[in-house]
């Protein structure tokens, strides 16, 4: 395993970057819910026909739902998958979980964080409170109860978790792979240091001095590849560039309610759009421009989210 990535120029194509993700890999998805999810990379994973992916992450939405719908996923180890009060349960994920076509290993945010930290710290496990007394442990035979050697307390030891790949979408990076990230960072930083490999898509590849001025959150040596994909988080948001595309998300959730709808959606927006340029053309310039108008006024923002 190479522990650092030192090439001077890591800018590559989406297809080449995603070719590095293998069937069966443990994949961490950046962002959360309707926010900064790596949707262009999700679409490319589906185009390349990836299978049996083991997803890990916190509270997510369409990224997980779409990958599951496309049959790319073997295991879902997320703390939540859905669309909150916005559109409710994630239809494709729900169907797959109920019929057993994906293995559910539901996790909890702090548990996952501690597992990533153990990988970052280079130790085999971390202890957590919680889990005991709940049903979560039944899905995780890898957890173990331990007694503190210092206080006699019983805790749950959760093993180090080092994803094979972390997929993160960011506003900006330089060609060496220094990445500027916006808050909330969610688990993006932790994924970066815990994972064996990090692939980053960005709204814009920028000069090194500009990224440094914005503030580097992910340093170049941890990042394997950089791909410039404007609107690479669409239909989730990537502030300050654009808010989330609520209409598109709603249309997906409606389509995802049955196999026919899923097939139609994938054919139109994923397999039928062989590149992200083609995908964006389908969404339309006007719509994309609208999503950037969130900061015009509170009224406009509210309108875009209603």
The residues of the shown chain that bind another protein, judged by CB under 8 A, are 31-35, 58-59, 78-86, 89-90, 93-94, 97-98, 100, 104, 106, 108-111, 113, 117, 128-136, 138-139, 153-155, 183-187, 189-190, 237, 239-240, 243-244, 246-247, 250, 294, 298, 301-302, 305-306
Measured on CA atoms in the order 220, 22, 30, 227, is the torsion positive or negative?
positive
- Report the residue number, 131 or 273, with the smaller CB distance to another protein: 131
The minimum distance between CB 99 and another protein, in angstroms, equals: 9
Give residue 255's region: left, alpha or beta (phi > 0; psi -120 to 50). Answer: alpha
The minimum distance between CB 169 and another protein, in angstroms, equals: 14
- Report the residue number, 82 or 227, with the smaller CB distance to another protein: 82
Calpha distance 102→249 (Å, rounded): 22
- Please give the radius of gyration of the chain, using alpha carbons only, rounded to the nearest integer: 19
Q: Are 292 and 241 in contact (CB under 8 A)?
A: yes
Per DSSP, the chain holds a count of helices (H) and strands (E) of 13, 12
The minimum distance between CB 251 and another protein, in angstroms, equals: 10
The minimum distance between CB 24 and another protein, in angstroms, equals: 23
The minimum distance between CB 264 and another protein, in angstroms, equals: 20
Q: Is the peptide bond before 184 cis (omega within 30 degrees of 0)?
A: yes
- Report the residue number, 5 or 301, with the smaller CB distance to another protein: 301
Calpha distance 88→166 (Å, rounded): 27
- Report the residue number, 117 or 287, with the smaller CB distance to another protein: 117
């Amino acid at each position: 395993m190479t522990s650092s990535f030192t090439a001077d120029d890591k800018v590559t194509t989406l297809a080449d970057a995603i070719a590095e993700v293998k069937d069966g890999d443990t994949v961490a998805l950046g962002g959360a819910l309707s926010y900064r999810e790596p949707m262009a990379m999700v679409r490319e994973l589906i185009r390349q026909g990836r299978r049996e992916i083991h997803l890990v992450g916190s509270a997510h939405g369409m990224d997980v739902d779409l990958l599951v719908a496309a049959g790319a996923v073997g295991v879902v180890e997320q703390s939540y998958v859905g669309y909150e009060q916005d559109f409710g349960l994630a239809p494709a994920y729900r169907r797959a979980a109920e019929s057993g076509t994906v293995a559910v290993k539901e996790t909890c945010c702090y548990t996952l964080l501690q597992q990533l930290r153990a990988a970052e710290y280079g130790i085999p496990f971390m202890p957590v409170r919680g889990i005991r007394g709940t049903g979560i442990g039944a899905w995780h035979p890898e957890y173990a109860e331990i007694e503190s050697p210092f206080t006699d307390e019983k805790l749950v030891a959760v093993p180090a978790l080092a994803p094979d790949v972390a997929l993160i979408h960011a506003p900006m990076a330089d060609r060496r792979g220094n990445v500027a990230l916006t808050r909330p960072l969610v688990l993006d930083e932790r994924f970066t240091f815990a994972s064996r490999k990090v692939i980053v898509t960005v709204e814009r590849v920028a000069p090194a001095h500009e990224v440094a001025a914005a503030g580097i959150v992910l340093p170049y040596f941890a990042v394997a590849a950089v791909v410039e994909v404007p609107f690479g988080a669409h239909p989730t948001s990537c502030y300050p560039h654009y808010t989330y595309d609520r209409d598109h998300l709603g249309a997906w959730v409606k389509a995802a309610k049955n196999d026919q709808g899923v097939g139609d959606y994938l054919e139109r927006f994923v397999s039928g759009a062989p590149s992200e340029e083609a995908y964006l053309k389908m969404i339309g310039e006007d719509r994309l421009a609208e999503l950037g108008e969130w900061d015009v006024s509170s009224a406009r923002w509210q309108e875009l989210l209603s």
